[in-house]
Copies of this chain bind each other. A is one copy, B any other.
Amino acid sequence: MKTNCKKQETENKKQKLKNMTKSELIKKIRQKKSFLCIGLDSEYEKLPPHLLESDDPLFEFNKAIIDATIDLAVAYKPNLAFYECNGLKGWISLEKTISYLNMKTDSAFLIADAKRGDIGNTSRLYAKAFFEILDVDAITVAPYMGSDSVQPFLTYPDKWVILLALTSNKGATDFQYLKSEDHHLFEHILKTSSQWGTPDNMMYVVGATQAQQLESIRRIIPEHFLLVPGVGAQGGSLQEVARYGMTNDIGLLVNASRSIIFASSGEDFAEKAREEAGKMQGEMEGLIG
């Protein structure tokens, strides 16, 4: 048992050829005329039925989505929940997906949407899990526990922290807008945390549903990339996000998940995903200008 699962793990994991620096990412965005990030929220229960007979339906689904969209997207973002909820099998599917993306010649920026964060001694091991074992470019991190919960992730050269600032969900209004000394909590988080790293190793999550805040956010962090979820199924507007959030270096990764990957539940799912991704890439090409 031990030997087999060990062998499986070695097969799943292949070292990334090259890390994605800020200048590499910008180059990629300009080449592809796209700042699209595709969220691999690959919920098992929503997979096209014809895939369920395969050895690893989750991986086969992701592989087909990646193959169909790699020229249209600059980033992919598996959300860990969709893999953890399948236990051991889910972990294997995730490793294989990451390894597959890392081996693509036409590389993409790879984000583990994990929203981790713990005391320093523990965050150090999360950093190891995501940057050494899984070998992604970036991980989303929750800010509540402060500096020492984030800093261990920033010690890896050419790896990125994407810190939650203003999220796209309804619950964002519960605490993120609390005002202290004339600033909202998310503004305090932006100000304080932008001192922990640089625009070369930190990005921020700002939901597209909160686009009206982007002007004031850009005053605090004019150079950092933003990862913007909430366009698509959650209803945010790409035009609004670009108007208030775009910088000279673009400075945006706009994510769509369900609206692309589950555009069809039939055998044409990859083709339909490509169509949806193409629509967004086309719109982005217009915005990049």
Q: Which residues of A contact B (CB under 8 A)?
A: 1-2, 4-9, 12-13, 41, 43, 55-56, 79, 81-82, 84-89, 91-92, 95, 113, 115-120, 122-123, 125-126, 128-129, 132-134, 142-150, 164, 167-176, 178-181, 185, 188-189, 192, 234
Q: Which residue of B lies closest to A151 (CB)?
A: B171
Q: Among the listed B13, B91, B123, B172, which residue makes an inter-chain contact with A145, where contact means beta carbons less than 8 Å apart?
A: B172
B5:A129 contact, CB within 8 angstroms: no
Q: 8 tightest A-B contacts by CB?
A: A146-B171, A146-B174, A84-B129, A119-B169, A81-B125, A85-B125, A85-B129, A148-B171
Minimum CB–CB distance for A188 against chain B, Å: 6
What residues on B are CB-neighbors of A134 within 8 Å? 87
B92:A88 contact, CB within 8 angstroms: yes
Minimum CB–CB distance for A159 against chain B, Å: 15
Minimum CB–CB distance for A148 against chain B, Å: 4
| 10 pairs, CB–CB < 8 Å, chain A vs chain B | A1-B4, A5-B89, A81-B122, A87-B129, A91-B91, A142-B145, A144-B167, A146-B175, A150-B171, A179-B180
B188:A171 contact, CB within 8 angstroms: no
Q: Which of A134, A146, A192: most chain B CB closer than 10 A?
A: A146
B145:A171 contact, CB within 8 angstroms: yes
Q: Which residue of B lies closest to A207 (CB)?
A: B119
Q: Which of A5, A120, A148, A164: most chain B CB closer than 10 A?
A: A5
What residues on B are CB-neighbors of A7 within 8 Å? 1
Bound complex: CA A249 to CA B85 (Å): 34
Bound complex: CA A194 to CA B143 (Å): 21
Minimum CB–CB distance for A81 against chain B, Å: 4
Q: Which residue of B lies closest to A189 (CB)?
A: B175
Q: Which residue of B lies closest to A192 (CB)?
A: B174
Q: Which of A56, A133, A142: most chain B CB closer than 10 A?
A: A142
A144:B144 contact, CB within 8 angstroms: yes
Q: Which of A84, A148, A181: most chain B CB closer than 10 A?
A: A84
Q: Which residue of B lies closest to A9 (CB)?
A: B88
Told that A143-B144, A144-B144, A144-B176 touch, could you supply 10 new A-B pairs with CB distance under 8 A? Answer: A5-B5, A41-B122, A81-B122, A88-B91, A119-B168, A142-B144, A148-B171, A149-B171, A175-B188, A175-B189
